[in-house]
C-alpha cells in the first residue's frame, strides 16, 4: 500500500545518502527481502550474510535478521557501522546458552574441541574453537572427526543430533533448541504426506530428529531453496520458517508449497513457523535505524571480538 511505498522510497534514498547496504535473512518479511534485492543488498542464509557483509564496500551495514547476525557482521568488519532495525531481535538458541554456564561446560571438558553454532552471542563464539552455520556444520564436524577430535557441541541439540547421526562423531551436546523449528510434529507431518504422497519433504536441521528422519532434503535455508529447485517433485512440504516461501516461490515458480504442520492435532504452538524475533524487522524500524544510529548500532567489546574472530575466520576459510 501507499504507506509501504513511501517507506521504501525513503529507505532507498537514505541507503544511498549513508553509503549503506541492506543484508537480510530469508525469514524476514517478503517486503524487506524485496527491498534488499531492489537495492543490490543481500538476501541469504546466515553464512552468506556473514560473507556479504564482510566483503561489502559500503561503510554501513543494515542487518535485517537477529542479533547474532549483526554481531557476526561487526566481528568481521569492525571498521564498518553495523545497524539493526531493532536490537531486541534475539534467538532462543542464543538466549538458552549464556556465556557463564557454557564456559563452565567447556572448562569441565578440556579434552574436547568446542564447536558452536553461529546462533550464539559474541562471547560464546569467543570461547569456541570453531563456529559453524547449518550450511557448513556437517562438513566441519566430518573434518574434525577425521582428525580424531572429540567435540563439545552447542547450543542446538537437534542440529547436533543430526550431525552426530550423519558423521558418527563423538559429540557432547548442549541442550538448546529453536522455538520455531522445535514445534514441527512428525505425526502430523506423516498425515500430510499421506494426503500428498507425491510431495517431497524439505527440513531445516533445527527440527526434531523424527521430523528430520522424514526429509527428502535436509539443509540450511539456502540449501532448502536449492532443493526446491532441483528435486523433481511439483509439491513440496517445507519444515522451516514460512519467510522462506518468498524466495522458494521465486526459485521454483511452478511448484506448490505446503507448510509442515506445527503443534499437532490442532494444538497451538508458541511460534507457529514464524520466528517472533525475525518478525520484528519492519520497514519503519529500518528507516529509524538509517535516520538515527542511536539504539540501533551493534557494538562488540574489542577483546571479545578478537577472540571470536578466530573461530569465525576458521569457518569462512574452510567454506571458501
Binding residues for [4Fe-4S] cluster: 91, 178, 275
Residue of 181, 182, 164, 165 whose CA lies nearest to 173? 164
Spatial CA neighbour of 27 closest among 43, 4, 48 = 43
277 belongs to the binding site for ligand SF4 (CB under 6 A): yes
Question: Cα-flanking dihedrals φ and ψ of residue 176, to 5°?
Answer: -90, 165
| Residue 28 interacting with ligand 13P (CB under 6 A) | no
Closest separation in Å from C-beta 256 to ligand 13P = 23
Query: 27 near 244, Cβ under 8 Å?
Result: yes
Q: Which does 277 bind (CB under 5 to 8 A by kind): ligand 13P, ligand SF4, none?
A: ligand SF4
* Residue 133 is a binding residue for ligand 13P (CB under 6 A): yes
CA distance linking residue 41 with residue 58, whole number of Å: 10
Q: What angle do CA 159, 164, 166 make, to 5 degrees?
A: 95
List the interface residues with ligand SF4, window 127-166 (CB under 6 A): none
Q: How many chain residues are in contact with ligand 13P, going by CB under 6 A?
A: 11
Distance of closest approach, residue 175 Cβ to ligand SF4, in angstroms: 15
All cell numbers assigned to 232: 523433481
* Buried b or exposed e, range 46-67, using 16+ CB within 10 angstroms: bbbbbbbbbebebebbbbbbbb
Residue 139 contacts by C-beta under 8 Å, 6 or more apart in sequence? 318
Task: Please select the residue that binds ligand 13P; options are 60, 86, 119, 167, rule is CB under 6 A.
Answer: 119
CB of 184 to ligand SF4, least distance (A): 12
Residue 58 phi/psi, 5-degree rounding, is -65, 155
Q: Which residues are part of a known binding site for iminosuccinate?
A: 25, 46, 117-119, 134, 204-206, 221
In the complex with ligand SF4, which residue's Cβ is closer, 63 or 178?
A: 178
Q: Output the smallest distance, CB 288 to ligand 13P, in A.
A: 23
Residue 220 within binding range of ligand 13P, rule CB under 6 A: yes
Per CB under 6 A, 121 contacts ligand 13P: no
DSSP code string of 97-110: --HHHHHHHHHT-T
In the complex, the residues that contact ligand SF4 under the rule CB under 6 A are: 27, 66, 91-93, 119, 178-180, 206, 241, 275, 277-278
In the complex, the residues that contact ligand 13P under the rule CB under 6 A are: 45-47, 119, 133-135, 178, 206, 220-221
Amino acid at each position: 500500500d501507499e504507506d509501504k511505498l513511501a517507506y521504501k522510497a525513503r529507505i532507498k534514498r537514505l541507503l544511498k545518502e549513508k553509503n549503506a547496504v541492506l543484508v537480510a535473512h530469508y525469514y524476514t518479511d517478503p517486503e524487506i527481502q524485496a527491498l534488499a534485492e531492489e537495492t543490490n543488498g543481500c538476501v541469504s542464509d546466515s553464512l552468506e550474510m556473514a560473507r556479504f557483509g564482510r566483503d561489502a564496500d559500503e561503510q554501513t551495514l543494515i542487518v535485517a535478521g537477529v542479533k547474532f547476525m549483526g554481531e557476526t557482521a561487526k566481528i568481521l568488519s569492525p571498521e564498518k557501522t553495523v545497524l539493526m532495525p531493532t536490537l531486541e531481535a534475539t534467538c532462543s538458541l542464543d538466549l538458552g546458552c549464556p556465556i557463564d554456564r557454557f564456559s563452565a561446560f567447556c572448562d569441565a571438558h578440556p579434552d574436547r574441541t568446542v564447536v558452536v553454532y553461529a546462533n550464539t552471542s559474541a562471547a560464546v563464539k569467543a570461547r569456541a574453537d570453531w563456529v559453524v552455520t547449518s550450511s557448513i556444520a556437517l562438513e566441519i564436524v566430518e573434518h574434525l572427526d577425521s582428525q580424531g577430535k572429540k567435540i563439545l557441541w552447542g547450543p542446538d541439540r537437534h542440529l547436533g543430533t543430526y550431525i552426530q547421526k550423519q558423521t558418527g562423531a563423538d559429540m557432547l551436546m548442549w541442550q538448546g533448541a529453536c522455538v520455531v523449528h522445535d514445534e514441527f510434529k512428525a505425526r502430523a507431518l506423516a498425515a500430510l504426506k499421506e494426503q500428498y504422497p507425491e510431495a517431497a519433504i524439505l527440513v531445516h536441521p533445527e527440527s526434531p530428529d523424527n521430523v528430520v528422519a522424514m526429509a527428502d532434503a535436509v539443509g540450511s535455508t539456502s540449501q532448502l531453496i536449492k532443493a526446491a529447485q532441483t528435486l523433481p517433485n511439483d509439491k513440496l512440504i517445507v519444515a522451516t520458517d514460512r519467510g522462506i516461501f518468498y524466495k522458494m516461490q521465486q526459485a521454483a515458480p511452478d511448484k506448490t508449497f505446503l507448510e509442515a504442520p506445527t503443534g499437532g492435532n490442532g494444538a497451538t504452538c508458541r511460534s507457529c513457523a514464524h520466528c517472533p524475533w525475525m518478525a520484528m524487522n519492519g520497514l519503519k524500524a529500518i528507516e529509524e535505524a538509517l535516520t538515527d544510529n542511536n539504539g540501533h548500532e551493534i557494538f562488540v567489546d574489542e577483546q571479545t571480538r578478537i577472540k571470536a574472530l578466530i573461530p569465525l575466520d576458521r569457518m569462512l576459510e574452510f567454506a571458501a
